[in-house]
Structure 1
Amino acid sequence: MKKSDFYFDLPERLIAQHPLEQRDASRLLVLDRKDGSVTHRHFHDVLEYVQPGDCMVFNNSRVIPARLMGHAVGRTTPIEVLLLHDRGNGLWECLTRPGKKTREGVELTFGDGLLTATVESVDPADGNRLIRFHYDGIFLEILDNLGTMPLPPYIKEKLEDPERYQTVYSKTPGSAAAPTAGLHFTQELLDKIRQKGVQLAFVTLHVGLGTFRPVKEDEITDHIMHSEFYVMDAETAQTINQVRDGGGKIWAVGTTACRTMETIADEAGHVREQSGWTDIFIYPGYHFKSIDHLITNFHLPESTLMMLISAFSDRETILHAYQQAVNEEYRFFSFGDAMLLI
């Protein structure tokens, strides 16, 4: 299967540059996977589709201010460092720009020396750096002081309120990008969903940039996914399994929740307490085990996320629905509108 099989033409004007004032006022394209029919709603209407006894699974990872600006010791050329994965003991996998200024052994400094770092190694495959940070105090507090929110490059406008790039239920810091399907939920909407008799369950998957990296290979099976760290606790696993065994439907809120569930689930769709790293790559032909419905945003052409939703439905149906979204001028990507696959 070719990368070009997942291409669609997207006018640049439809790329959302800012969030709506009201999170759940975004539009919702509802796609019925059985017959391919499309219904145009608003996000708060999701309450009409979820049923008592169902379970919604959310990713509660919180985006950290992962973009740092500094320079090499003794130099003045600005160097941008984007934190991707915490490897422990101050060691982070990072992207840097310009890469030629961050060779192995280079010493970096940020915020007039409040934070310093050493480039320990360079991955020859993807150019990512392993960087060891040196500091006094609590690293996340230093990031709050020195770092900025790592908005995707297609968002050109400044984000006035960083909390708008967080879900209202975000809890565990560690992501380099937001699990954007969850950005549409308000606390009021979550309360109404609970009151309807729906279970809310939370997993953690720290979103790296690997999910969003462009597929460079023509044959999609040649693409290598980067790993992301996930956690499912015992209480969440028990809730999901009880709902499944009781005949309720399992809703994944976002592709990150979906990928976490599919990593852990057995063939019967049951999950268990587990943590680890996942590099699961879902594309057409994949057999889903754990979810019945999927809420997601609109994705980039030829991306692994387009491939995932094409596997959950089918490629032709997804491309037809996306064309309708373009025709109806839906807002695309992180701050854009949402899609419900039922």
Structure 2
Amino acid sequence: MNTSDFYFDLPEELIAQVPLEERTASKLMVLDKVTGEIQHKHFYDMITYLNPGDCLVLNDTRVIPARLFGAREGSGGKVEFLLLTRKSEKDWEVLVKPGKKARIGDRIVFGDGILTATIKEIIEDGKRIVTFEYEGIFEEVLDQLGEMPLPPYIHEKLEDKERYQTVYSKHEGSAAAPTAGLHFTKELLEQIKEKGVHIAYVTLHVGLGTFRPVKVEDILEHEMHSEFYIIDEENAKIINDAKANGGKIISVGTTSTRTLESNATEDGVICAGSGWTNIFIYPGYKFKCVDRLFTNFHLPESTLIMLVSALAGRDQVLHAYNEAVKEKYRFFSFGDAMFIK
């Protein structure tokens, strides 16, 4: 199976640059994975596709303001950091620009010395391990100095940082938002509960690799990035009980999907636990836990459109995407949504 098998033509003007004023006002394409039938709705209609006893699974990770702008101590040269993975209390794996000049022992100063970093180790591709020095609580320092790391295809400045967070975000650690969840409001979640639908939360901290393009023609040669996930006992039980009682497991986003499928047994049972996952889901994959999926519209030739194609079939997904282009759906992080039922 080739990467080019997942290509579709996407006009640049359909890439959403800003979020809609109302989260639930986005369009919703409903795709029947059995028949291929397509319906055009709005996201606030999504509740009609949920039944009592179903379980909606949300990723409650929270994006950290992971982009930092500083200066090299001594020369004053500008340096940009993007925080990737926390290694210990003060050590982080970061992406540095310009990377070639970032040498072991270099010190970078942020915010007039409120935060400093020393480069400890060189990894690859501009990635470094650094040790931060600061007073107080790191998250508060980061909130003061950092900027939200919006995806590279978004060129507009985000006025309200909370619009790149889900309303149920809780555990800080992501470099990117689980964007399918951006359509939900607290009011909609209450309506879902009132209908008798169970809501469960998992945590997967989304890494920068989610934007990494597939650079090989044979998709089996693509190496997935690893991301850290957590599923606690309470939420594992909610999911398992719903499935045992005949409810559908409805995943919100590819991140929730990868978390569930990484953890599920062959019988679809979810076990509480945490760890790193680099699961790569593409057509031919047999889903163990997830029955249905809410997701946004993804890049051509990306691992995300491959995952969606695994659930609904490549031909049906590409047909749906071409229909979305024709109907001028908004694509990517701040774009419209799809429900695969």
TM (norm. structure 2) is: 0.98
Partner of 1:223: 222
Tell me whether 332-341 or 310-319 shows the greater mean CA deviation. 310-319
- Give the match for residue 26 of structure 2: 26
Matched, 1:11 2:11: yes
C-alpha separation in 2, matches of 1:176 and 1:331: 22
Q: What is the aligned partner in structure 1 of residue 158 from structure 2?
A: 159
Cα deviation for residue 57 of structure 1 reads: 0.4
Residue 113 of structure 1 aligns with which residue?
113
The corresponding residue for 2:131 is 132
CA deviation profile, 1:181-215 (whole Å, cap 9, x unmatched): 00000111100000000011001100001122111
Q: Secondary structure at the match of 1:47?
A: helix
| Cα displacement string for residues 211-269 of structure 1 (whole angstroms, at most 9, x for unaligned residues) | 22111111111111111111000000001000000000000000000000001000110
Offset of residue 103 of structure 1: 2.5
Work out the CA distance in 2 between the residues paired with 1:129 and 1:255. 28
- Matches of 2:312 and 2:126 in 1, distance apart? 34
- How many Å apart are 1:284 and its aligned residue? 1.2
Q: Work out the percentage of aligned pairs sharing the same amino acid.
A: 61
Residues 79, 101 of structure 1: 8 Å contact kept: no
Q: Distance in 2 between matches of 1:258 and 1:25?
A: 24
1:92 and 2:92 matched: yes
Structure 2 distance, partners of 1:283, 1:121, is: 35
In the alignment, the residues of structure 2 paired with residue 272 and residue 198 of structure 1 have an alpha-carbon distance, to the nearest angstrom, of 21
Pairs within 5 Å for 1:71-86: 71-86=71-86
The answer (yes or no) to whether the contact 1:85–1:94 under 8 Å persists in 2 is: yes
Q: What are the ranges of 5 or more consecutive residues in structure 2 without an aligned counterpart?
A: none
Match for residue 321 of structure 1? 320
Compute the displacement of 1:76 (Å). 2.0
Preserved CA contact (<8 Å) 2:98 2:126: no
Q: Which amino acid aligns with 1:65?
A: P
Which contiguous aligned blocks of 4+ residues in structure 1 show a shift greater than 3 angstroms?
Answer: none
Equivalent position SS for 1:100: coil
Distance 1:281 1:104 in 2: 34
Q: Counterparts of 2:212 and 2:158 in 1: how far apart (Å)?
A: 22
Distance 2:128 2:58 in 1: 30
Q: CA deviation at 1:328?
A: 0.1
Which residue identity does 2:280 align to in structure 1? F
Deviating more after overlay: 325-334 vs 99-108: 99-108
What is the CA distance between 1:119 and its match in structure 2? 1.6
Structure 1 residue 107 displacement after superposition: 1.5
Extract unaligned runs of 5+ from structure 1: none
Could you tell me the TM-score, scaled by structure 1's length? 0.98
Question: 1:89 Cα deviation (Å)?
Answer: 2.3
Tell me what 1:182 maps to: 181
- Aligned residue in 1 for 2:295: 296
- For these two proteins, the number of residue pairs brought into alignment is 341
Q: What one-letter code is carried by the residue in structure 2 that aligns with 1:43? A: F
* Preserved CA contact (<8 Å) 1:212 1:304: no
Q: Take 2:299 and 2:104, find their aligned partners in 1: how far apart are those partners?
A: 33
What secondary structure, in the 3-state scheme, does the structure 1 residue paired with 2:100 have? helix
Counterpart of 2:265 in structure 1 is: 266
- Alignment partner of 2:47: what SS? helix
The answer as to whether partners of 2:151 and 2:211 remain within 8 angstroms in 1 is: no
Q: CA RMSD in A?
A: 0.9
